[in-house]
Amino acid sequence: MTNLISRMQAVQSPIIPVVGELIKKSPGTISLGQGVVSYSPPPEAIELLPQFLAEPTNNLYKAVEGIPPLLTALAAKLSDFNGIEINKGNCIFVTAGSNMAFMNAILAITSPGDEVILNTPYYFNHEMAIAMAGCRAILVETDENYQLRPEAIAQAITPKTRAVVTISPNNPTGVVYSETALHQVNQMCGDRKIYHISDEAYEYFTYNGVKHVSPGAFAGSNEHTISLYSLSKAYGFASWRIGYMVIPQNLLVAVKKVQDTILICPPVVSQYAALGALQAKDDYLRENIGAIAQVRELVLASLNQLQNLCSITPANGAFYFFLKVHTQMDAFKLVERLIQEHKVAVIPGTTFGMENKCYLRVAYGALQKDTVKEGIERLVRGLQTILKN
């Protein structure tokens, strides 16, 4: 029976449930672990649900790629915010979250044994999906500020390479990649006849005047760019499971095969809610993300107390800071001690591919200001206590 589970034995366990079990055993722990927001979907999302209930056929399967009104609304959003025009060369595909969009892409463009380039630190679910598909993740280090190194990416491309993955704003580091670097990577992928998979789940979460850049908007990028998006973060939609992807038209049949097999169609009730969310007033995003920006400043001020114990790279996106901790201690052991002794949880950097040093991801989007303040204070005290002993 061992051979029947060998494929999954090569896949790392998702870290969020592992840390979640530790939190359960230490009641009162404040979690700075999971990457979600504290606020709820806009009222427009709920207000559209009666339309779903009023249509008797909505209990049946709908189009595998998404319901037409949602596709139309997403096309308008992509044009207005991302600068991506939907035309004969590309199309929108609605998914059950952007993790599913990534798996759709990997299964559509690869065969077992192929290679996909990830920039480290990577998003752990991306590495897991590549392993599940029987492919190999090729890891390329970012620079000391976690920015892309296009020349290193170019050197990592082989005849087996099928795609380069970028995440901007980034999970786990919070950095926003420069337009120049993203353009270089995108051009490189076009020249080498491979795909650029651009994960943009945190597209709205940028600070200090930094602007989000979508590689799918670059001239001539339609044929080789796969753009991934999510409502989970910006619209408080985590459990509703709605994401979407913009793909080259020639991948549509392959992606349909994948999604029809795994899902058949995205949850229709959630698609109606998503359609409503996209109609929310501009104030919804501005006020909620503005509140997170205030929390970010509070977190950064507290983390600065750790300057002698950690390296804290500036991050103008998402809702993460990625700490390099000046210790030989194993990152997971440090996380365990922070939970057990100081009742604060973060995520170890090992799960993001950072094996040689001790790194921690600190997430600040899921909690209200007062709770985050207490959590960060516990983290600072905990690291000061553990590392100085």
**Per-residue pLDDT tens for 226-253?**
999 999 999 999 999 999 999 999 999 9
**Diameter of the chain measured on Cα atoms:** 65
Relative to beta strand 136-141, strand 195-199 is unpaired
Q: Mind giving me the DSSP string for 361-375? A: EEE-SSS-HHHHHHH
- Alpha carbons within 13 angstroms on the beta-carbon side of residue 236 total 19
| Closest to 229 in 3D by CA, of 194, 205, 193 | 205
Residue 65: which pLDDT band, with cuts at 50, 70 and 90? very high
Distance CA 290, CA 267 (A): 30
CA 303 to chain CA centroid, Å, is 23
Residue 173 in this model has a pLDDT that exceeds 90: yes
- 342-349: average pLDDT: 96
Amino acid at 54: A
Residue % of the chain over a pLDDT of 70: 99
Residue/partner pairs of 48-51 with CB below 8 Å, 24 or more apart: 48/272, 48/273, 48/275, 48/276, 48/279, 49/269, 49/272, 49/273, 49/276, 51/272
Going from the C-alpha of 20 to that of each of 96, 234, 335, 363, the distances in angstroms are 23, 23, 12, 14
The dihedrals phi and psi of 346, each to the nearest 5 degrees, come to -135, 180
- Is there a contact between 326 and 12 (Cβ–Cβ < 8 Å)? no
| Range 43-277: architecture per CATH | 3-Layer(aba) Sandwich (3.40)
- Is there a contact between 140 and 119 (Cβ–Cβ < 8 Å)? yes
pLDDT of residue 18: 87
Residue % of the chain over a pLDDT of 90: 90
Distance CA 337, CA 293 (A): 29
pLDDT digits (tens, 9 = 90+) for 34-60: 889 999 999 999 999 999 999 999 999
pLDDT of residue 25: 94
Residue 9: which pLDDT band, with cuts at 50, 70 and 90? confident
Give the least confident one: 2-16, 211-225, 364-378: 2-16
- 201-215: average pLDDT: 97
| Closest to 311 in 3D by CA, of 296, 303, 323 | 323
Distance CA 343, CA 337 (A): 9
pLDDT of residue 367: 84
Residue 4 in this model has a pLDDT that exceeds 70: no
Query: Across all residues in the chain, what is the average pLDDT?
Result: 95
Residue 1 in this model has a pLDDT that exceeds 80: no
pLDDT of residue 79: 98
- Alpha carbons within 13 angstroms on the beta-carbon side of residue 97 total 13
- 195-218: average pLDDT: 98
In sequence order, what are the residues at sequence separation of 6 or more whose Cβ sits closer than 8 angstroms to the Cβ of residue 211? none
pLDDT of residue 255: 98
Residue 335 buriedness (CB in 10 A; 0-12 / 13-18 / 19+) = buried
pLDDT of residue 369: 85
| Closest to 205 in 3D by CA, of 240, 170, 237, 179 | 170
Residue 2 in this model has a pLDDT that exceeds 90: no
pLDDT of residue 3: 60
Which segments of the chain belong to CATH 3.40.640.10?
A: 43-277
- 88-103: average pLDDT: 97
pLDDT of residue 16: 84
Task: Identify each DSSP E strand in 76-191 by its residue range.
Answer: 90-95, 115-120, 136-141, 161-167
| Closest to 158 in 3D by CA, of 110, 115, 118 | 115
pLDDT digits (tens, 9 = 90+) for 139-161: 999 999 999 999 999 999 999 99
CA–CA–CA angle 265, 266, 270 (5° rounding): 145
Residue 15: which pLDDT band, with cuts at 50, 70 and 90? confident
Domain 2-41+282-388 grouped into CATH 3.90.1150.10:
yes
The dihedrals phi and psi of 250, each to the nearest 5 degrees, come to -75, -5
Which segments of the chain belong to CATH 3.90.1150.10?
A: 2-41+282-388
pLDDT digits (tens, 9 = 90+) for 314-324: 899 999 999 99
Residue 5 in this model has a pLDDT that exceeds 70: no
Residue 383: which pLDDT band, with cuts at 50, 70 and 90? very high
The count of other CB atoms within 10 Å of the CB of residue 249 is: 14
Six token digits for residue 166: 């970028």
